[in-house]
Chain A
Amino acid sequence: MLENTTDSILDHRLHWRWAVPVLALLVLFPLIASATGTDFYVSLASRILIFALAATSLNLILGFGGMVSFGHAAFVGVGAYAVAIFMQAGVVSAWLAWPLAMLVSAVFALAIGAISLRTQGVYFIMITLAFAQMLFYLVTSLKVYGGDDGLSLAGRSTLGFGLDLANDRVFYYVTLSMVVLVLVAVARLLNARFGHVLQAIHENEVRMTAIGFPVFRYKLVAFTLAGALAGLAGALLANLGGFVSPALMQWSQSGMLMIMVILGGVGYLYGGIMGAVFFLLLEELLTHFTMHWQLGLGAVLLLVVLVAPNGLASLVKSRRRA
């Protein structure tokens, strides 16, 4: 099926035994919410899924490729703005707008990656941050696209086939299917030659260069792909909120994505998802109790750092082995 019969350490299994029940639960969730009168939580769940998607795209390059990009939120923002601007120009169909948004994000990622990937380590982090900041300030000053006030979308993208994305439940299922598709695609990619090479480059770049791999090209492709996926997350986010603003591209947003990936487990297939879910659920929970929720959030994050050195996913994995 999707798993190699001979697993190497570079392979990542989808863990169907666990994934399928969780997926089933997620599929049933809106129905459960309806029954208990907590319909509102369906849109919260959509939001968490979108961030899980964004975090997974970052995990691809950060976790598996070793490229710590501190400007990933910029690609999410670009995708979101692309959808909003296309809608303003009359392109409302999701089939057209979303792939276009991914393409636009990919182009930006390609350009930024081509320059940034010439640097290493903390310098790479800073230069990706710099580019993200540049985009942020640029967008903030563009009054034609709302500037700091942002841009409202007239409605959600259209799907046709009688599916109305304005319906929260339909939107949830579409988002869920996007996340599943992307996750499966990423798993396939990682288990294929490309993924193996990428992870090997992360392990030891010098060796891979010596062997003769075009290391830069591989990294650039991965970076661009991650940018495209982030663009998809952005497109979904724009639809969910019906609104885009430069705040989507702030460095603190990039930081939050990084935190989610680190929290969930760098280099674990489900790391991005677990990190996003844990972080956002915790935030939602804490805001109910106290205005000073950041204190609780910080304490929990610190605890995780000290107790689970490799993120939450590592805790799950080790338990399974035992």
Chain B
Amino acid sequence: MNAILVLEQALNGLQFGLMLFLLASGLTLVFGIMDMINLAHGSLYMVGAYLIATLTDVLGNFWLGLGLGILGAAVFGVLLEISILRRLYQRDHLSQVLGTFAIMLMCNETVRLIWGAQPISLNPPPALAGPVELFPGFSYSSYGLFIIGVGFLVAGLLYLLITRTRVGMQVRAGAANREMALAMGVNVRNLFTAVFGVGAALCGIAGGMLGPMLAVQVGMGESILILAFVVIVIGGIGSVRGAFLGALIVGVIDTAGRALIPLLFGMLMSPEAAANAAPAVASIMIYVLMATVLFFRPRGLFPAHG
């Protein structure tokens, strides 16, 4: 194991963590402020990715497609909120699970109807398609660096939004104590719609970031949704800071686990046994992490609720 390997894995962990953050931040806000479990969050991400892919294809320009796609995702989110999701706020969590699960099914099938069953392509713009030589002997995918950059930028903007603006203050108040915030005169309806819209836009950004790296296909939201839930539970529900740190921790631990455990096992047992055991252990690292965190801090690392 050399320094370059460690550096590359560190960047990988950062990249993965920031990807998760983009998704987890919207999820934690919706859960923290509206107290709604949204299983359709992954669908917003999927719709975002599909819109960006299609627009990029039609307009021939990645940046235009990205921008318009994010906007489209936000609009879709707002429409969804106004029409259906709004009715679920007052309901108990279980009803929300059922309702958003139903929406997830419908979104999946509608996307399949419109775009077909096969995955569609979304490629990074030519400028970002190749590697970048960070220093002699080590090059990293330029798109990966772009993702890291965007991730930090979005995190920074969200931080500013939440801590320095009036809307952000209302968001924090709502997450900490909803009834009190209502009593103090926060315009709930608009705030909720705005939060949901921002969450959907974040999903759209995530779709645009991840689409070129992964496959744009039906059901792409579900696999990453579970990880996003794990992140917000570790970080503490309702806290964007928690989502950020939780996502970074998850990203780094998962990457380190996948890199180190096979090496470790290879030293301790036969190659066949290591090949069987190591991947399984590496896959469940994140879950072990979550269980451990919950054991010591049952409400996550940075719970928003007082």
Contacts and interface: CB of A to CB of B under 8 A. Distances in A.
B233 A126 contact: yes
A239 to B, nearest CB: 28
Interface in A235-271: 251-252, 255, 258-259, 262-263, 266
A134 B113 CA distance: 34
B150 interface: no
A133 B287 contact: yes
A122 B93 contact: yes
Given A115-B295, A122-B93, A134-B284, A295 B110 contact: yes
Contact of A302 (B91, B99, B288, B294): B99
A305 B39 CA distance: 14
Contact of B294 (A119, A252, A294): A119
A130 B277 contact: no
Q: Does more than half of chain B's interface fall in helix, strand or loop, or is it mixed?
A: helix
Given A119-B298, A123-B294, A137-B284, A306 B93 contact: no
B258 interface: no
Interface stretch (B45-53, B100-108, B166-174, B248-256): B100-108
Contact of B91 (A123, A301, A309): A309
Nearest to A258: B97
B255 to A, nearest CB: 17
Given A126-B229, A294-B106, A309-B91, 11 more contacts: A119-B294, A122-B31, A122-B93, A123-B233, A130-B290, A131-B291, A133-B226, A133-B284, A305-B95, A305-B98, A305-B99
24 contacts: A122-B233, A126-B229, A126-B230, A130-B287, A130-B288, A137-B284, A138-B280, A141-B279, A143-B276, A252-B222, A262-B97, A294-B108, A295-B113, A298-B109, A299-B102, A300-B102, A301-B99, A301-B101, A301-B102, A302-B103, A302-B106, A305-B88, A305-B95, A305-B102
Interface of A: 62, 68, 115, 118-120, 122-123, 126-127, 129-131, 133-134, 137-138, 140-143, 251-252, 255, 258-259, 262-263, 266, 292, 294-295, 297-302, 304-306, 309
Interface of B: 31, 37, 84, 87-88, 91, 93-95, 97-99, 101-106, 108-110, 112-113, 222, 226, 229-230, 233, 237, 276-277, 279-280, 283-284, 287-288, 290-291, 294-295, 298-300
